A and B are shown apart, each in its own frame.
Chain A
Amino acid sequence: MSRIQQAFQEKKAFIPFITCGDPDLETTEKLVYAMEEAGAALIELGIPFSDPTAEGPVIQEASLRALTGGVTTDKIFDMVKRIRQKTQIPLVFMTYANVVFSRGIGHFARQAAEAGIDGLILPDVPFEEKEEFDGPCREYGLDFISLIAPTSHERIRMIAEKASGFVYCVSSLGVTGTRSSITTDTGAMVRVVKETKNIPCAVGFGISTPEQASKIGATADGVIVGSAIVKLCGQYGRECVPHVAEYVKKMAAALEKQEQPSPDRSKCVN
């Protein structure tokens, strides 16, 4: 069983996203350990891109901070190697097509796999263009993660059929960033995926509060949170680790509660 599959085995998976090198790679490394300790089941590591077209202002600014600080794909691979010596938590890269393409897709996939990465998410590579990336990823044992969106409708089955690792369900229209309410019926999206293939579904985009995590977690296998965490990194800089850890703990706990409703809570309802 792959590390990604294991992440979804026992409980609902809380999946935090951080931008590598924001504010520096030392802090990124510390964040990985602290978030695992706080209950993260899988971690998304963003390789910053100069022009992240699927991101809202929070992650755009984090990417800029990281790149200005001098982070590069080479330095990120080195960091992942260090992390892998200390932990077995599943790690997936999230970045943009050109970061992978410019290195040579096969070269990137091989180096990522050797460093200990488990999967790759590219928001600007839809189903129609995925073969070019999916082939090399499979060759080196990386899961190329597919995304579905509120506008996917009849495309969901086609995407789910060829999905590997887990399916990233985009909860809202627009770019990444926190939202006060999420109106998409993510449960229905997950149902269509599950009818097609038995694969874990994690929901992301817009989620920031324990209440949202708990509600969405009721019908999904995992919840992904990016901007709310990256905001803490921006706010506290090198001092962000305890703040992020505390937040992850709260969110992971909210998801767990969802999984096994306590007797106390049902009493409250009555």
Chain B
Amino acid sequence: MKKGRYGIHGGQYIPETLMNAVTELEEAYEFYKKDPQFNAELTELLNEYAGRPSRLYFARRMTEDLGGAKIYLKREDLNHTGAHKINNVLGQILLAKKMGKTRVIAETGAGQHGVATATAAALMGMECEVFMGEEDTKRQALNVYRMRLLGAKVHAVTSGTATLKDAVSETMREWTRRIDDTHYVLGSCMGPHPFPEIVRDFQSVISREIREQLLEKEGRLPDAVLACVGGGSNAIGAFYHFIGDESVRLIGCEAAGRGVDTAETAATIATGKLGIFHGMKSYFCQDEYGQIAPVYSISAGLDYPGVGPEHAYLYDKGRAEYVAVTDDEAVDAFEYLSRTEGIIPAIESAHAVAYARKLAPEMGKDQIMVINISGRGDKDCAAIARYRGEDIHE
């Protein structure tokens, strides 16, 4: 396979202005990923600051209730800042620092990646600016405040649909304006090479831990690993170390919004087609003329019209399955996990929980399923209350 390619997917479809910057990043990453000092520093940060390893929790009540597979929850929601995003951010900011950068910029959808970036920037003494769709700043007002509290400047993006895709576009534009001192901390396993690889590597700590923890607890590998997919960073992190184990089903749960047969959906693999956008070749929701579709999901973090190139490749190869979960199903699962296990998942992660509720009863009691709980749901409480017709003030 060509460098930076996943089958036919991936590549570097970006303006010439950015080419030397991504080449510089690629060279730095190739060097530091093999540097013992860098890896020791990163492990220290992940363990002492972010609180890794995250727990692999046996969900007894959920397992009993569904009456099928034994269910484990990978608790990425227990990480510092409340989601898996911190894994990637600590890696990238440490890398940026080694490269001599003094300023970081980032896009954010639900705000989790923005909060993680603002947090790590505060820790490392770097300047931080976050771009967030105006629509999302309303849906996730609490996270906007958290970022400001952490010293970051938050820009509300008003172009296009004013959601995650527009935040990515605007962060790319900002990067072309100021490159020398600035690193773009891309939050998902997408964009131009080397970002999909860097983000996947930093997130792959999730599957490395699941593997070790489950071997210790059960002495065997899981039969299925479930994770939600927007761009797909928590999913690729949860899948990566199982890709070679054909017996492990890898299931990505996309956001169907109001349904894959409606226009209000963000399920890229279910409804999109091959295209080129945001630096990569992959699947995108688009019209017959290649115009990117205005997608929709209740979850700001999954509300994106594309998917990372490695997921597109795993789908092509038939190695991973991708299913679509509606807003309704996700909200039900959000409430279900809260009541059944006392764990409030992010509405993004609730998409994986929703599919688990369908799949677990079909699996045998001797089988094991792992659901990646990519983030915690405090940020979503007001929006879910609104969805249920209740207006609460944060």
**Which residues from chain A sit less than 8 Å from chain B, CB to CB?**
49-51, 53-54, 56-57, 60, 67, 72-74, 97-103, 123-129, 147-153, 155, 159, 170, 173-175
Q: A51-B166, A51-B277, A53-B278 are in contact. Are A129 and B11 (CB under 8 A)?
A: yes
Q: Which residue of chain A has its CB nearest to the CB of B273?
A: A102
Q: Which of B15, B166, B292 contacts A126 (CB 8 A)?
A: B15
Beyond the given A57-B159, A127-B16, please list 18 additional residue pairs across the A-B interface where CB-CB is below 8 A: A53-B173, A97-B277, A99-B291, A102-B275, A102-B288, A102-B289, A103-B290, A123-B16, A125-B13, A128-B19, A129-B11, A149-B19, A151-B18, A152-B20, A155-B20, A173-B179, A174-B17, A174-B173
Q: Are A49 and B169 in contact (CB under 8 A)?
A: no
Measured in the bound complex, the distance between the Cα atoms of B165 and A74 in whole Å is 26
Residues of chain B whose beta carbon lies under 8 Å from any beta carbon of chain A:
11-21, 159-160, 165-166, 169, 172-173, 176-179, 273-279, 284, 286, 288-292
Q: Which residue of B lies closest to A54 (CB)?
A: B15
Q: From residue B171, how far is it (CB to closest CB) to chain A in Å? A: 10
Answer whether A102 and B179 are a contact pair too, CB < 8 Å, given A51-B165, A152-B20, A155-B20.
Answer: no
By CB atoms of chain A within 10 A, which of B15, B172, B273 has the most?
A: B15
B20 CB contacts on chain A under 8 angstroms:
151-153, 155
The CA-CA distance from A230 to B266 in the complex, in Å, is 33
Is A170 a contact of B172 with CB atoms below 8 Å? no
Q: Which residue of B lies closest to A67 (CB)?
A: B291
Closest Cβ–Cβ distance, residue B366 to chain A (whole Å): 47
Closest 9 CB pairs of A and B: A102-B290, A174-B177, A149-B17, A97-B276, A98-B290, A50-B291, A149-B16, A99-B290, A50-B292
Q: Across the two chains, which residue of chain A brings its CB closest to B159? A: A60
B169 to chain A, nearest CB (A): 5
B183 CB to nearest A CB, Å: 15
Give the residues in chain B near A147, CB-CB below 8 Å.
15-16
With beta carbons under 8 angstroms apart, the residue of A49, A103, A129 that contacts B12 is A129
Partner of A51, one of B15, B169, B177, B288: B169
How far does the alpha carbon of A93 sit from the alpha carbon of B284 in the complex, in Å? 23
Minimum Cβ distance to chain A for residue B357 (Å): 35
Complex contact A102–B17 (CB within 8 A)? no
Q: Which residue of the partner chain, among A54, A60, A98, A155, contacts B19 with CB atoms under 8 Å?
A: A155
Asked whether A128 and B12 contact (CB < 8 A) given A101-B276, A173-B178, the answer is: yes
Q: A51-B166, A51-B292, A173-B178 are in contact. Are A98 and B277 (CB under 8 A)?
A: yes
A-B contact pairs, 11 of them (CB 8 A): A51-B277, A102-B290, A126-B12, A126-B14, A127-B19, A128-B19, A129-B12, A147-B15, A147-B16, A170-B15, A175-B176
Chain B's closest residue to A124 (CB) is B13
Contact yes or no, B15 A124, CB < 8 A:
yes
Q: Point out the residues of chain A lying under 8 angstroms from B289, CB to CB.
A: 72-74, 99, 102-103
Do the beta carbons of B15 and A98 come within 8 Å of each other?
A: no
B13 touches which of A60, A73, A97 (Cβ 8 Å): A97
Contact (Cβ within 8 A) A51 B276: no
How near does chain A come to B340, taking the closest CB pair, in angstroms? 40
User: Which of B15, B172, B173, B291 lies in contact with A149, CB distance below 8 A?
Assistant: B15
Instruction: Contacts A54-B176, A102-B286 given; indicate if A126 touches B275 (C-beta within 8 A).
Output: no
Q: Is the CB of A126 within 8 A of B291?
A: no
Please state if B19 and A49 are interface contacts (CB–CB under 8 Å): no
Which chain B residues lie closer than 8 Å to A99 at the CB level? 289-291
Instruction: Please indicate which of the listed interface residues B18, B20, B290 has the most CB atoms of chain A within 10 Å of its own CB.
Output: B290
Bound CA–CA A67/B284 (angstroms): 19
Partner of B173, one of A72, A127, A159, A175: A175
Interface pair A152/B19, CB less than 8 Å apart:
yes
Q: Which chain B positions have C-beta within 8 A of A67?
A: 291
B176 contacts A174, CB within 8 Å? yes
CA distance A102 to B281 in the complex (A): 11
Contacts of B276 in A (CB 8 A): 97-98, 101, 124
Q: Closest residue to A56 on the B side, CB-wise?
A: B173
Query: Nearest-CB distance from B388 to chain A (Å)?
Result: 33
With A152-B16, A173-B178 as given contacts, are A53 and B290 in contact (CB-CB < 8 Å)? no
**Which single member of A50, A53, A170 contacts B16 (CB below 8 Å)?**
A170
Q: Is the CB of A151 within 8 A of B21?
A: yes
Q: Which residue of B lies closest to A72 (CB)?
A: B289
> Per a CB cutoff under 8 Å, which of A53, A98, A126, A173 touches B286?
A98
Assembled-state Cα–Cα distance A170/B177 (Å): 12
Report chain A residues within 8 Å CB of B17. 149-151, 170, 173-174
Q: For B179, list chain A residues within 8 Å (CB).
A: 151, 173
B193: nearest residue on chain A (CB-CB)?
A128
Compute how far the CA of A22 lies from the CA of B78 in the bound complex, rounded to whole angstroms.
Answer: 51
Would A126 and B277 count as touching, CB distance under 8 A?
A: no
